[in-house]
Structure formats: structure tokens, C-alpha cells
């Protein structure tokens, strides 16, 4: 009997889908541990561009599974009904603050997202390993997944302790990746999936929230735990045509530090849970200890560091304009 042909849509460990990056099990990043130790019963694969890529949004608003052997060329893409279009709406009405112009320019090339010079390749570069800010390389070099020692918190993300590492304040760390579904969800209450992220990508919180589900697929950011005084901040950011929820170091992160964001009061309320972070003794209600205020304060420090990055992008653009002159 001839061997069974694998279904073209089936995802296999270490296999390739389309032209995208290899699917790498988390164990590859922690070669001294087995997958079982790293993530019990894991089905979680590291994925990059596929699910967060707006080209995967079908016209009917459902996310498309990666089936094509090649991605469409940028000029063939109809972006009128994709997440980036919603993102453009948001540009007119920035979500955080009017003065943080950089937030709406492409993180890779520094241009406005509707500039034809800024295309999907900006996003791909960050993910393909070619870019200096490549998420894969960053994780492999600087971070590790290990157990926090706390039953409640489980696994977490740490700056590698096998050496002296320092990640400067303001550094871009990566962004939240998962399967994208059109949102918003019906709320956290009753939903046992604790890996959902719902960023606002348009002007309306009620309508413009895709669901990023890192329950089964995601990258290392899905392992970041919550702290009532977080050392990692987050912001909605543009990379090429893709709007992402990006993470930045709020302060210098040193070897052994656990990277933590603040999940938000609603997360804890919605899942009916208390926080077990090390900032406060015992289990505590983050709303009562002022965690969101702490997070905002830490975030504004990171904004200050990021503002310097914005300046450097603008400067580099001016420089290239000058150098093009005859
Ligand atoms: C996005 S996951 C983080 C990764 C998770 N620790 C793991 O091992 O896969 C979120 C879940 O981690 C746990 N967790 C994270 N931070 C926590 C905290 N400060 N206190 C209690 N549980 C926490 C909760 O179970 C929460 O629902």
C-alpha cells in the first residue's frame, strides 16, 4: 500500500508552512530541558508571522489558516478589510497620547504606515531573523523559560542567569503572538483560556478588538507573568502594516530578573483570582495595592526611554534624505 500522504494543512513539528519560519518547539530554546519540564503537556509551538499577519484575514473576517505555498506579493494584497486598515483609523485618534507620534510610525522603518515605502517586509524582517530586532534571536540570546517556584504563577520568563546579561531600559522585547480571531470576545468571565489578549486596534474599545489567543500557539511573551510593579511595559505599535501589542523594558533588566507585565484589574476580576507576585506579601488583590497605577508609572518611564528611539528614527530619516541629494 502506498504511504499515506500528509494532509497539506496538517502542521507537523519542525515542518514548514508556506515560506514562513520553521515552527520550533519551545524545547529547542531550552536545550538542557525536556519539553515536559518546560511546558507540561505542551502543544504550544513557536509561531511568528502567520497568525498576527493581516494577510491571514479573509474577506469574511475570519482568520485564514496558512495554506498557500507562497504569500501574495505586497502589491496584490487588498488591505481594505484587514487589521491594518483599522489601525489606520486609530492613527487619526491615538489610543494612548497625542504626543507619542512614534507609536503610529513603523517600528522597523520609521515611516507612517500609509507611506507606500513602508510595506509588509518591515514586519517580515523583524520575524525572519534577518532584522536586528528579530524576536527569535532576541529570545534565544537573552531569555529563558523556567518555573518560578510558585504553584500559582507556574512558568515564567527570565533574563538568562548563565552569565551577566543586561537589557537596557526602553528596549523593545517582542510582541504578543497567537491565533487571531475577530473580536471582541464576550468578556473574560467564564472563559478558562488565560492566554487571550484583546488589544484595541481602532477607535472603539467596544468594536475594534481582535482576540489574540496564545493558548495553543504563540511565542515566549505568552509566558510573561503578572506583577503589581511590572518591569515590562506594553504599547500598541505599528510594524509595517501590522498593528501589534509590543513589550518594552521599563527598566534595566538583569540576569535572573523575571520579566513581568501587569495583566490589568479586569483580568484578575474576570478570572476570579488573586495575585501571587513577589511585590506584596501573600496573595493580594492587585486593584487594592494600586497595581495599575504602578504599571502606569513604570510605563511612563519606559515611554521616556522610547521617546529617544523615536528621535533616532526621525534623525536617520533626515540623514538618508540628505545623502540622496546630488
Ligand atoms: C499568560 S499565563 C502566564 C504563563 C504561565 N505562568 C504558564 O506557566 O504558562 C497567565 C497565567 O499565569 C498565572 N499567573 C501569572 N501571573 C500571576 C500572578 N501574579 N499571580 C498568580 N498567578 C499568576 C495565572 O494562572 C495566569 O492565568
Ligand 1 atom with least separation from CA of 214: 1
Q: What is the mean pLDDT of residues 114-141?
A: 63
Q: What is the mean pLDDT of residues 2-21?
A: 34
Q: How far is the CA of 154 from the centre of ligand 1 (A)?
A: 6
Question: What is the structure's pLDDT at 290?
Answer: 96
Residue 23 cell numbers, joined: 515552527
By the 8 A CB rule, do 176 and 221 touch?
yes
Residues with CB under 6 A from ligand 1: 152-156, 194-195, 222-223, 225-226, 275-277
By the 8 A CB rule, do 176 and 244 touch?
yes
ipTM for the predicted complex: 0.99
Low-confidence winner among 111-115, 176-180, 254-258 (lowest mean pLDDT): 111-115
The answer, yes or no, to whether residue 70 has pLDDT greater than 70, is no
Q: What is the mean pLDDT of residues 25-53?
A: 34
CA within 13 Å, CB half, 126: 25
Q: How far is the CA of 290 from the centre of ligand 1 (A)?
A: 19
Determine how β-strand 232-239 pairs with β-strand 242-249: antiparallel
43, 146, 154, best to mutate for ligand 1 pocket (most atoms within 8 Å of CB): 154
Q: 306: alpha, beta or left, given left = phi > 0 and alpha = psi -120 to 50? A: alpha
Question: How far apart (Å, rounded) are the C-alpha atoms in residues 87 and 203?
Answer: 9
Question: What is the structure's pLDDT at 250?
Answer: 85
Bigger pLDDT: 181 vs 2: 181
Q: How far is the CA of 146 from the centre of ligand 1 (A)?
A: 13
SS3 127: helix
Q: How far is the CA of 228 from the centre of ligand 1 (A)?
A: 13
Question: What is the structure's pLDDT at 22?
Answer: 33
Q: What is the mean pLDDT of residues 308-313?
A: 40
Domains, the chain = 24-65+89-324 (2.170.270.10)
DSSP state of 298: H
By the 8 A CB rule, do 267 and 291 touch?
no
For ligand 1, atom 15, name the residue with the nearest CA.
225
R_g over Cα of the chain:
20
By the 8 A CB rule, do 318 and 268 touch?
no
Neighbours of 321 (CB within 10 A): 9
The answer, yes or no, to whether residue 225 has pLDDT greater than 90, is yes
- Residue 242: pLDDT band (50, 70, 90) is low
Nearest C-alpha neighbor of 296 from the set 221, 244, 234: 234
The answer, yes or no, to whether residue 171 has pLDDT greater than 60, is yes
Tell me how many helices (H) and strands (E) the chain has: 7, 15
Amino acid at each position: 500500500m502506498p504511504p499515506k500522504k500528509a494532509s497539506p494543512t496538517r502542521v507537523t513539528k519542525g515542518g514548514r508552512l508556506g515560506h514562513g519560519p520553521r515552527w520550533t518547539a519551545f524545547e529547542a530554546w531550552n536545550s538542557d530541558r525536556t519539553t515536559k519540564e518546560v511546558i507540561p503537556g505542551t502543544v504550544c509551538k513557536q509561531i511568528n508571522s502567520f497568525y498576527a499577519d493581516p494577510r491571514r484575514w479573509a474577506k469574511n473576517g475570519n482568520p485564514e489558516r496558512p495554506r498557500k505555498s507562497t504569500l501574495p506579493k505586497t502589491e496584490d494584497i487588498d488591505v481594505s478589510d484587514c487589521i491594518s486598515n483599522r489601525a489606520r483609523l486609530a492613527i487619526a485618534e491615538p489610543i494612548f497620547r497625542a504626543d507619542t507620534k512614534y507609536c503610529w510610525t513603523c517600528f522597523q522603518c520609521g515611516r507612517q504606515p500609509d507611506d507606500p515605502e513602508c510595506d509588509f517586509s518591515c514586519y517580515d524582517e523583524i520575524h525572519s531573523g534577518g532584522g536586528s530586532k528579530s524576536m527569535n534571536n532576541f529570545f534565544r540570546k537573552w531569555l529563558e523559560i523556567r518555573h518560578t517556584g510558585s504553584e500559582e504563577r507556574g512558568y515564567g520568563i527570565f533574563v538568562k542567569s548563565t552569565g551577566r546579561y543586561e537589557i537596557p531600559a526602553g528596549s523593545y522585547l517582542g510582541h504578543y503572538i497567537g491565533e487571531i480571531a475577530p473580536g471582541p470576545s464576550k468578556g473574560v468571565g467564564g472563559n478558562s483560556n488565560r492566554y487571550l489578549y484583546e488589544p484595541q486596534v481602532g477607535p472603539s474599545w467596544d468594536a475594534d478588538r481582535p482576540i489574540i489567543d496564545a493558548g495553543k500557539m504563540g511565542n515566549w511573551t505568552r509566558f510573561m507573568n503578572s506583577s503589581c510593579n511590572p518591569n515590562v511595559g506594553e504599547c500598541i505599535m505599528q510594524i509595517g502594516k501590522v498593528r501589534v501589542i509590543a513589550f518594552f523594558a521599563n527598566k534595566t533588566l538583569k540576569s535572573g530578573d523575571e520579566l513581568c507585565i501587569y495583566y490589568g484589574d479586569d483580568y484578575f476580576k474576570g478570572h476570579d483570582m488573586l495575585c501571587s507576585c513577589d511585590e506584596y506579601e501573600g496573595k493580594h488583590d492587585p486593584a487594592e495595592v494600586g497595581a495599575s497605577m504602578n504599571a502606569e508609572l513604570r510605563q511612563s518611564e519606559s515611554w521616556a526611554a522610547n521617546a529617544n528611539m523615536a528621535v533616532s528614527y526621525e534623525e536617520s530619516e533626515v540623514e538618508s534624505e540628505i545623502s540622496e541629494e546630488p
